[in-house]
Structure formats: C-alpha cells, structure tokens
Amino acid sequence: PTEPLVLGIETSCDETGIGIVRGRTLLSNTIASSMDEHARYGGVVPEVAARAHLEALQPSIEAALAESHVGLTDIDAIAVTSGPGLAGALMVGVGAAKALAVSLERPLYAVNHLVGHIAADILDADAPPLEYPTVALLVSGGHTSLLLVRDLTTDVELLGETMDDAAGEAFDKVARLLGLPYPGGPEIDRAAAAGDADAIRFPRGLSRASDLAAHRYDFSFSGLKTAVARWVEQTQAAGEEVPVADVAASFREAVVDVLVTKALAACADHGVPRLLLGGGVIANKRLRDVAIERADAAGVTVRIPPLSLCTDNGAMIAALAAELIMAGRPPSTLAFGADSTLPV
Ligand code: KG4
Ligand code: ZN
C-alpha cells in the first residue's frame, strides 16, 4: 500500500509505547510508563521495567487499536525497537512483535531507537516536511546523542554521544543529591525558576580545547555531577544552608550550555542550517529557549516535535518503519534479536 498501516512497539526503557500510523499520519500513540515503580529506587530498574512491559503490552495494543479505529488484521506491518536500550526490556517488545508478525503473517521491521526519535518529527502535522541534511540532538534519561541525518532511511551518522551519564540521568542524579524526588528533570526545572544561573560556575564537560580535538561532539556529565556534589558538601561542611534554587539553576545552565554549544558546532562544521531536537529532556524550557535563541543568531532553524512524540513512544517506531516501507526497503528476517548496543 502507498500509505502502509503500521503498528509500532517501543520497550527500550521504562515506557511501553504502542503507536499506529498510516503513512505519515499519526492514528494513535499510547504510552504506559513504569516510572512510578522506579521512583523509590531513584532510577530505572531493568528487571522492573521488563516485567512492567510484559504486563502493559496486551492492554496497550488493544487501546491503540481502539483509538485508531482499526482491527489487528487491518495492520500492514509491525515495527519494533530492537536497540539500543535495556536488554531485558527490549526482549519483551521484540518477542511480542515477532509473535504478532508471525501470527498475522505480516512483515516485521526491526528499527533503531535513536533513528526512531528522528522519525518522530515526520508525525508533526503542523510542521513543514523535514529537510535534509539536518543535525539532530537527542537528549533523554537514556541517551545524549548528536547525529547528522542526510536521509532518514539510508544515511544517519552518529557524530557523538555521552561518554558517561545521559543528560536526563544527570538531572536525576543531581536532583537526588539536592533532596528532590525522581524523576529529577522537572524538579530541578521548578527549583531553578527562583535561582540565579550565574551564581556558581559549574564545569562544561569535554569543552576544553584539549578535549575538543577527540571529543568535539561528545558529552560528559559525570564530572559536572561530581562538581555539584562537592560544592554541596563543602557548603554543608561550612555550616551554611545549600541554596537549592541557585545550584539547580547553575547546574541546568551548564547542561543546556554544553548541549546547545555542541549541537550548533555540528551545524556550523557541516554547513547544516537545521537542528532537530528530541528526547524527554526537551521538556526543559530553558533548553528550548537557549537552543532557539542561539540557533537564531547562527542562522539555524530549530525543529521541536510535540513533547508526546519527543519522549519514548511507539508512534515514532511505526513512523520510521512506514518510511522504510515507502522507500521500498525489505522487512527484517526473524533472525534478529534485541541488541542493547545497536549502532545507528
Ligand atoms: O525520553 P524520556 O521520557 O525517557 C527516557 O529517558 O527513556 O526522558 C526522561 C528523562 C528523565 O531523565 C527526566 O528527568 C528528564 O527526561 N526530564 C527533564 C525534564 N523533564 C524530564 N530533564 C530536564 N528538564 C525537564 N523539564
Ligand atoms: Zn529514547
């Protein structure tokens, strides 16, 4: 069919996402999160996530079909995230996708989670079509990656990624050491609103001239996290109260600064006047504002899909498979498995 009806399954982290698209049109995007179950551990627990996917899949698929007003037998193809992500969590989605594809006798497309994040943009009905090449900055609790997209279905190049913590993970860890609940991103954001971003100069990871030679597009947030921890300890040791708002604002500024600086450097180096943002950390308004402001000054256009498509979801996985189908690409064979470190 010219506009294939695709059901996408995403289980790489803590969101069970089922999405249904018809070509480039979004029909449904149901997301069941096990976030609450991880909250008391201060981060995603892989075993808990895998079990939650197992429980959420069946009802989520039914909900997505109902919302789309289509029957299971109407589906033309099944799509699934095969990696990167948590191995056990991925395995649940991959197993379910294979079972569906075999029982329905439909083609199965195994896709890359990061490329899926880029495909989310296609479903943004209010935006003009995605133009190539574009630089993509993907920031979530699980990844921080900078990519050069020459063509979504044939040519996506990883320029750089985090060497340690993901940006969202850094937000979560710093929130924890400030005594704020999980997930920390929104909490830090709230606390930062009343703070001074210039109060404390926290380090920008991999930004020194000596680092840039080998890590121009790579990120590191563990040094920043340690710097915040040390600053808080020293303040407490001196018997002073920790100015949570200032720490939050200064920390957030350090993360935002390095993300935007490196993304715009990639745009400049490659002569690409387009930047696409994705991932759950895009919920951070300061990040969006700084990106838009500095991109504007550099003559770069910023695209930000709606947040429901930026966080992990099944619709982006279905959208990518629909693109592959429309580009005439053959389906995956059943031989593939979950690959926690799948390259783009
Ligand atoms: O993409 P996402 O929903 O899920 C995965 O990472 O799989 O991203 C969640 C991450 C968490 O680390 C959370 O703390 C962070 O995004 N986050 C934020 C904000 N809202 C969520 N980080 C900074 N500022 C926010 N407003
Ligand atoms: Zn993701």
> What was the pLDDT predicted at 22?
98
Show the domain range for 73. Answer: 5-122+309-326
Q: What integer is the mean pLDDT of 258-282?
A: 98
The predicted pLDDT at position 270 comes to 98
- Considering the domain boundaries, does residue 291 fall inside one? yes
The pLDDT, as a whole number, for residue 217 is: 98
Residue nearest to atom 1 of ligand 1 (CA): 280
CA of 103 to the centre of ligand 2 (A): 28
331 in a domain, yes or no? Answer: no
Give yes or no for residue 279 CB within 6 A of ligand 1: yes
Q: Does 198 fall in a domain? A: yes
pLDDT-derived band at 40 (thresholds 50, 70, 90) equals confident
pLDDT of residue 43: 85
Q: How many CA atoms lie within 13 A of 207 on its CB side?
A: 17
Q: Is the CB of 189 under 6 A from ligand 1?
A: yes
At CA 22, angle to CA 18 and CA 28, rounded to 5? 35
174: in domain? yes
Binding annotation for Fe cation: 113, 117, 312
Mean pLDDT of 193-217: 97
User: Residue range 25-52: average pLDDT?
Assistant: 92
- Mean of the pLDDT values across residues 165-181? 96
43 and 157 part of one domain: no
- The interface pTM score, or ipTM, of the predicted complex is 0.97
What pLDDT sits at residue 42?
Answer: 82
CATH number at residue 9: 3.30.420.40
Looking at the structure, tell me whether residues 112 and 161 fall in a common domain.
no
Q: Does residue 342 sit within a domain? A: no
The reported pLDDT for the residue numbered 41 is: 86
- 3 state SS of 143: coil
Q: For residues 83 and 331, what is the distance between their CA atoms, to the nearest angstrom?
A: 16
Split at pLDDT 50, 70, 90, the class of 71 is: very high
What is the number of domains present in the chain? 2
236 and 278 fall within a common domain = yes
Q: Is pLDDT of 1 > 80?
A: no
Between CA 281 and CA 307 the distance in angstroms is 9
H or E element, residue 290: helix 285-297
Categorize the per-residue pLDDT at 280 as very low, low, confident or very high, splitting at 50, 70 and 90: very high
Residue list, CB under 5 A from ion ligand 2: 140, 312
What is the rounded average pLDDT for all residues in the chain?
A: 97
Is 200 within a domain?
yes
State the pLDDT confidence band at 3, using cuts at 50, 70 and 90: very high
> Could you report the per-residue pLDDT of 286-323, keeping only the tens digit for each?
999 999 999 999 999 999 999 999 999 999 999 999 99
* pLDDT (0 to 100) of residue 310: 97
Q: Are residues 30 and 67 in the same domain?
A: yes
- Asked if 99 and 203 sit in the same domain, the reply is no
Q: What is the average per-residue pLDDT within 222-237?
A: 98
Q: In what order do the strands lie in the sheet with 25-33?
A: 25-33, 15-22, 5-10, 77-83, 108-112
Distance CA 249, CA 196 (A): 6
Q: Is the CB of 16 under 6 A from ligand 1?
A: no
